[in-house]
Amino acid sequence: MRPAPGVALTTAMVALTLTTGMVEAVSFLVLGPVFTAVQTGNLLFLGFAIAGEGGLSPTAALASLGGFAVGVVSGARSEAREEAGGHRWFVWALVTEAVVLAAGAVVAWDLEGVGGALTARHYAVTAVVAAAMGARNVTTMRVRVPDLPTTLATRAMTALLSGSPVAPAPRTSAVLKDQGRRAASVGAMFVGGLLGAGMLHAAVRPALVLLTAAVGVLATAAAYATRAHHLPPPRG
């Protein structure tokens, strides 16, 4: 049973996209370079590292890929179980993600900021955060809000530009509504990355940036749960 579509769910997905930007700021600037949500980047990083170019760490990429795989499998199993029981699993999935992100923040508590040498602690944080992002990808795949996968913005950016005034697509109310959602997706990713990087630049601990993202996910879950009481039952 999927969450009911509409403004509440779209708003939640935009908020989650913003938290992804914050998480990836820590991942790329402190834990790697590595990504924890955008696994396409890690596949490339791993290839570059194996080729011996760029001074990249294959361990960081493997830690992220492994943690992500664990998150996907565990998230898929648990969410499928809740869905089979007819429960509103979306909020539960976000709460679980927030807990895992918070656990990553605890593991990262005494890590240095940008520029620190990578240690086993960095790889452990990468794996834990990637697990949270793996579960997130399962969650967003199940709710299927167009242009808002929350962990990447390439497709939304492509659709936004191809539907812009410089493209030959017709300007209808439906198209304009889609464009607003796409712009929100791209903008939220940018703002989240800017916010996370800005906090690190201001010497905020990486753990606190991750904790802020976890609180954001938890707040999103709470806001949606409050709104869900006034929505129709989710569709099967």
| List of E strands, 79-165 | none
pLDDT in tens, 141-180: 999 888 888 998 888 888 888 877 666 655 544 566 788 8
End-to-end CA distance of the chain: 4
pLDDT at residue 168 in the model: 60
User: Of all residues in the chain, what percent carry a pLDDT higher than 70?
Assistant: 88
Give me the residue spans of the domains in the chain: 7-228
Measure the CA–CA gap between 219 and 144, rounded to whole angstroms.
21
Pairwise CA distance, residues 200 & 106, whole Å: 17
pLDDT bin (cut points 50, 70, 90) of residue 5 is: low
User: Was domain 7-228 assigned CATH 1.20.1250?
Assistant: yes
CA 143 to chain centre: 14
The predicted structure's pLDDT at residue 113 = 81
Q: In b/e form, how buried is each residue of 65-87, taking b as 16+ CB within 10 angstroms? A: bbbbebbbebbbebbeebbeeee
Q: What H or E segment, with its residue span, contains residue 34?
A: none
Residue 218 reports pLDDT greater than 60: yes
Question: What residues form DSSP beta bridges with 235?
Answer: 2
Query: Which residues, 6+ apart, have CB-to-CB distance to 200 below 8 Å?
Result: 25, 26, 29, 30, 113, 114, 206, 209
Reported as a pLDDT band with limits 50, 70 and 90, residue 229 is low
Among 116, 205, 190, which residue's Cα sits nearest to residue 160? 190
